[in-house]
Structure 1
């Protein structure tokens, strides 16, 4: 398995080496790919991160993790903006216990945040595939979980990248944030949840969970994590 380090597309520092658990089996390889474009202000970014931190440590999420065959998942946390910026904020982390979940949440709480212009979902997906290709774990399933509050307005067409990722056997799930504030760049031609359904999600069992706003984001993340960790069947949109 390859061990080369990825570089953030912005020219930022070398991404830290993944944690040394090579070849260990997990039920799910999960990339959390999070929008940090300029349409997301500091308060919204805080709510977004707190949503992930509270969800990963939630008892219902931990129950879903433990119910798997191997009782563990591996998570990588990616932030993306325009086509020239993607960053691996937290490298692959084994989560199979409450202590591991708490440590991951604490690390996310300490990580610095960068806000940049434009929204390249396609760039985020491409980078997430590179992260998946270097996972130091063996996962029975591979999922990229994309969250954001706008449409693709930078880089390649998202549908092109979505189809390529799905063809590799990776599922893309979506968490559109139905923010009613004005966004930068091209506005969505349709409601954002419909846009994510038609243009972003793909692969076996793909679905989306819409967050009505940033305040409700944490609850939406928790519902989404339980469903994708447990591989629960259900409607495409919830």
Structure 2
């Protein structure tokens, strides 16, 4: 599927008689279906991001944007071939470059819809790092939108706590230590500080997602 085709799909699904929220959930299911081994990733990170967002003191409008962006953050992956999405083991240099295009493509797709323009920032910058070493544009510090800085911590925690096609899950203790280790480099130190205060709640809710994934795991 090309980015243009994905943009058309977005318009068609959001243009149905379903509620806007239901339409976005349909899209999220399509996104997660491309990578069956990650299970309910999009839905899980949405719920976990809201826990952290509330702890950060976000208002209702920003929480809505965080929920939308978290749910559809990987929509750009609709344009990637299964040979990359389902590859076991590390990607080579060319494959990694192609994988990284999903952030820019996702931004293009989401910003085509006026109601998702702010949410598109999460798709665009969820792989940026606090020290400027991320992609696609090496944004640094507060140049990275706050919602993206919040989401980056949750996305990483979820990736470590759930089995992936390229690596098994690690323990909650190990995941927390890795988040702390990357504070100030990959992650906003203040976001990490707040994350640590709600990590038990995040772990409790996340565990339900990861257990559901194990039950339905096709890998």
Q: TM-score range by the shorter chain?
A: 0.3 to 0.5
- Structure with higher strand content: 1
More helix by share: 2
